[in-house]
Amino acid sequence: MNQWVELLTEQIRQTTLIEWVAVILGVAEVLLAKRNNILLYPAGIGGSAIGIILFIKAGLFADAGLSFYYVIVSIYGWIIWSRRKNEPPLQVAYANKQEWFMTLLIAFGGGIAIYWILITFTPSTVPVMDAWVTSSAWAGTWLLARRRIENWVVLNVSNLFAIPLLFYKHLPLFALLTLFLFIIAIFGYFDWQKVYRTQQKLQPVAQ
C-alpha cells in the first residue's frame, strides 16, 4: 500500500502545469454539467483541447481522438442547448428507443472501429481498453449533448474502465479526475431526475 502511495505522490510531483490546467477545466466542466449549466461547454472545450496533446504524448491515441471528439460534440451541444430565441430550450429527458440504438451503435460499433484503427495504424499497447473507454465515452457524451438523463450512467461505464487505464499510463491526475467525475456523475444522475420531474410538473395539462 505504501508503495502505491509513494508512486502516486511521485507522479503528482512530476505533473506539469498544463496537466493541472486540463484537470481544473475538467472539474469545472463536470460541476457545471451537474448543475445543468451551459457554461460546461467552454470549460470542456478548453480541457479537451489540452487533453489531445497530453494523451498523444502518453501513447493513448484513442483517448486523444476522444478529446478531439469532445471538442466537436461540445460545440454541437453548446449550439443545441442554446437554441434560437424563438425556439424552446432543449429539456432534460430520458432517451427514447432511437437514441438508445444510436448510443449502443456508437459504443460497440465505434469500439470495434477504434480497436482496428489502433492495432493497424498505431503502436498502442492497450488497444482494447483504450478503444472501449473512448467509444463508451463517445456514447455518453452524445447523450449529454441531447440532454438525456442516462448520459451519466453511460459515462460512468467509461469512467470505470478509464481509472485503472490512466494510472497504468502514468497519468495520475487524470485518473483522480476521472474518479472525481465518477462520483459526481452519480449525483448528476439524481439531480437531472429532479429537473425532469420539475419539468413534468410545469407542463401544461392537455385539455
pLDDT for residue 161: 95
Residue 194 belongs to some domain of the structure: yes
If we measure between CA atoms, which residue out of 49, 74, 57, 59 comes closest to residue 137? 74
**How many of the other CB atoms lie within 10 Å of CB of 204?**
5
Residue 154 belongs to some domain of the structure: yes
pLDDT for residue 159: 94
Residue 9 belongs to some domain of the structure: no
**Number of folded domains in the chain?**
1
Residue 5 belongs to some domain of the structure: no
pLDDT for residue 115: 93
pLDDT for residue 153: 96
Radius of gyration from C-alpha coordinates of the chain: 18
pLDDT for residue 207: 41
Residue 88 belongs to some domain of the structure: yes
Residue 4 belongs to some domain of the structure: no
> Domain containing 162: what range?
16-198
pLDDT for residue 11: 59
Q: Fill in the DSSP letter of residue 35.
A: T
Residue 171 belongs to some domain of the structure: yes
On the 0-12 / 13-18 / 19+ scale of CB atoms within 10 A, 93 is middle
Q: Are 151 and 143 in contact (CB under 8 A)?
A: yes
Taking the C-alpha atoms of residue 170 and residue 162, their distance in angstroms, rounded to an integer, is: 12
Mark the ranges of the chain whose per-residue pLDDT is less than 50.
206-207
Residue 188 belongs to some domain of the structure: yes
pLDDT in tens, 112-163: 999 998 899 888 888 999 899 989 998 998 898 888 999 999 999 999 999 9
pLDDT for residue 107: 95
pLDDT for residue 154: 96
Query: pTM score, two decimals?
Result: 0.74
pLDDT for residue 78: 84
